[in-house]
Amino acid sequence: MSPPLPGWSLRALGPVPVWTLLLLLSTALAGALLALHLTAALLIGPMAAAIVLAALDARIEVGNVAFMGAQALVGCMIARSFSPALLHEAAREWPLFLVGVASVIGVAVALGWVLAKRRVLPGTTAVWGSFPGAATAMALMAEAFGADVRLVAFMQYLRVLMVAVVASTVARVSLGSAHAPPTAWLAAVPLLPFLTTLLLAFGSAAIAYRLRIPAGPLLLPLFVGALAQDMGWLKVTLPAWLLAISYAVIGWGIGQRFTRDILGYALKVMPRILGAILALIAICAGLSALLMMVSHKDALTAYLAMSPGGADSVAIIAASSQVDVPFVMAMQSARFLLVVLLGPGIARWVAARVQVAGQD
């Protein structure tokens, strides 16, 4: 572990000044990232603000109930993107989807293994940080399965930034525009579906907590919400302002765990992490060229389908571009589900192999 970062201490400040600083800094950083059309801005901005204040020794405490509630709402938000059309698309071309999904996961796991073997990051932390999928879900699941959530989040959201910039640039070069559509923050939502969604989210999270399901406050609302929506029992309804608050709470909850020493270590290994992320993006670009030849999809559709993570960024770019949106989102969703199901076992297997190799 590298020595702690020197600097000022805000430990003497009370909770009101600290939370005021946190809100102001979170708003400024999220606003700057939104101006760059990065869809993860509402989470990365608050997380970065919390990291800055935590590194300055300020005391930030996000309650466990608030953190789990935010996870439940994000789980329902992810469930909202699943639809019978995506399942039909994946079933219709399942060999292609299987190979495409497995190839991206395989490359990511290989890079995680390299990071672990070279002792850049601990075994399971390196693998969870490399997994392509919804970055928030990967970070929260990593914590539930014993990895260092701070370093996993650092690597995941750094990749989200880089993937979003690269994907937006590719779309802009291909089509001349890749801006995210404006969000109606205060748009009215139907009251009954909204209340039902809240009941499903918080009820599922409470059950998951009671049953001690790993990453349950996120995953159980996700699966129950997707099932209820696909069966026609519920239309998952969440206003943009509530999702913004949920993202901020999760960002603060992760960011508060950073300390000067862990941040110093993260900055020390950043060049190697950046190299791994760039390698992953480049290899996935090569895989997208193969996908384009096999599936006869256009270049941008193939690239977005194989883009490693940042599924929400990819979704908005795809929706605002002339691409095969069901194909892109079916590929991204299938990969996310496979990582959720197999991720814990893969992470433990790689960590065990690295440990055995280190003893030889």
Task: Please give the pLDDT value at position 22.
Answer: 93
State the angle between helix axes of 299-306 and 311-319 in degrees (0 to 180), rounded to the nearest 10.
160
Helix (H) or strand (E) holding 267: helix 260-295
Q: What is the pLDDT of residues 24-78, one digit of tens each?
A: 999 999 999 888 776 667 888 898 899 888 888 787 888 889 989 998 998 888 7
Instruction: Assess if residue 9 is contained within a domain.
Output: no
Q: Is the pLDDT at 326 greater than 60, yes or no?
A: yes
Indicate the number of domains in the chain: 1
Q: Which of 17, 8, 4 is nearest to 60 (CA)?
A: 17
Domain span including residue 138? 63-241+269-359
Instruction: Assess if residue 19 is contained within a domain.
Output: no
Q: What is the pLDDT of residues 109-123, one digit of tens each?
A: 999 898 888 888 887
Instruction: Assess if residue 51 is contained within a domain.
Output: no
**Confidence band, pLDDT 50/70/90 cuts, at residue 313:** low
Instruction: Assess if residue 309 is contained within a domain.
Output: yes
**Confidence band, pLDDT 50/70/90 cuts, at residue 215:** confident
**Confidence band, pLDDT 50/70/90 cuts, at residue 155:** confident
**Confidence band, pLDDT 50/70/90 cuts, at residue 231:** confident
Q: Token pair of 184, please?
A: 């109606």
CB atoms within 10 A of CB 107: 20
Q: What is the mean pLDDT of the chain?
A: 81
State the angle between helix axes of 149-175 and 311-319 in degrees (0 to 180), rounded to the nearest 10.
20
Q: Which residue has the higher pLDDT, 359 or 82?
A: 82
Instruction: Assess if residue 55 is contained within a domain.
Output: no
Instruction: Assess if residue 252 is contained within a domain.
Output: no
CB 147 within 8 A of CB 125: yes
Instruction: Assess if residue 89 is contained within a domain.
Output: yes
Read off the pTM: 0.73
Q: Which residue has the higher pLDDT, 189 or 85?
A: 189
Instruction: Assess if residue 16 is contained within a domain.
Output: no
DSSP state of 183: P
